[in-house]
Amino acid sequence: MPKVIRVFFWGILISFLGSLPLGTLNIAAMQIGIQESINNALFFALGSLTVEMIYVRISLIGIDWVRRQKKLLKIMEWITLSIIIALAAGSFIAATRNGEHAKNIMLNNTMHRFLLGMFMCAINPVQIPFWFGWSTILFTKGVLEPNKNQYNFYIVGIGIGTLLGNCVFIFGGKWMVQRIANSEHYLNWVIGGIFAITAVIQLVKIMLHKDAVTKFGEEQEVQ
């Protein structure tokens, strides 16, 4: 198998599996798919994966510059936490409203969902250390080489894997809502709870210096 094809499939696999744990972006995509439309949710997913691919590219060719931006990454982390809290509050407010189609107030805006996906992904620094770690492993194992052609296939594979992972939530959430009576109302409570738990975990990690940005800096110092 040509190396570029192997790198391409590694990108898909890592990205797909990395998109399956509950997170801010995939839950937001699912909520958009349920409360708006599948097309809007796909636009959101495409926007987020576009930024993710850019971040991966930066991590491959400019990791030293990224490492020096600790303050910026910390600020982004706090902004992300604020948005997660707002999404949780929006879901809880929507759940308390009468009517099955009550919408999360944080998503009740006119911003194009592609741009919204780009924005929410851009302020989420967690993916930078995630992809730096995996890329380092692939470099160490000889799977990925410092080659422009391999980089391109690797990044395209990552984009496809992220899209597939988001589709699991988008189509899975839509399928569930269509088969359970009044499920959208209860789903707002569930999604709000997920966002709230995520916010608490993120806050604890930041306060205990166990967050992704801190770990990223420690890994760089060791190297």
* Interval 39-66: pLDDT, tens: 999 999 999 999 999 988 887 876 556 5
Per-residue confidence (pLDDT) for residue 222, from 0 to 100 = 47
- CA neighbor of 91 nearest in space, from 21, 174, 196: 196
Q: Residue 73's domain spans which residues? A: 3-222
Instruction: Kindly state the tokens that stand for 101.
Output: 């189609």
Per-residue confidence (pLDDT) for residue 147, from 0 to 100 = 84
- CA neighbor of 86 nearest in space, from 195, 194, 184, 198: 195
Per-residue confidence (pLDDT) for residue 223, from 0 to 100 = 47
Pair 12, 158: CB distance under 8 Å:
yes
Q: Looking at the chain, list the stretches that DSSP marks H as alpha helix, in order from N- to C-terminal side.
A: 3-19, 24-35, 38-61, 63-67, 70-96, 113-122, 127-140, 148-179, 183-207, 212-222
User: How many structural domains are present in the chain?
Assistant: 1
CA atoms within 13 A on the CB side of 9: 5
Give the dihedral of Cα atoms 9, 11, 16, 18; nearest 10 deg.
140
Q: Which of the residues in the chain have pLDDT under 70? A: 1, 62-70, 72-73, 76, 98-106, 125, 180-185, 209-223
Residues 55-83 as b or e (16 or more Cβ within 10 Å = b)? bbbebbeebeebbeeeeebbebbeebbeb
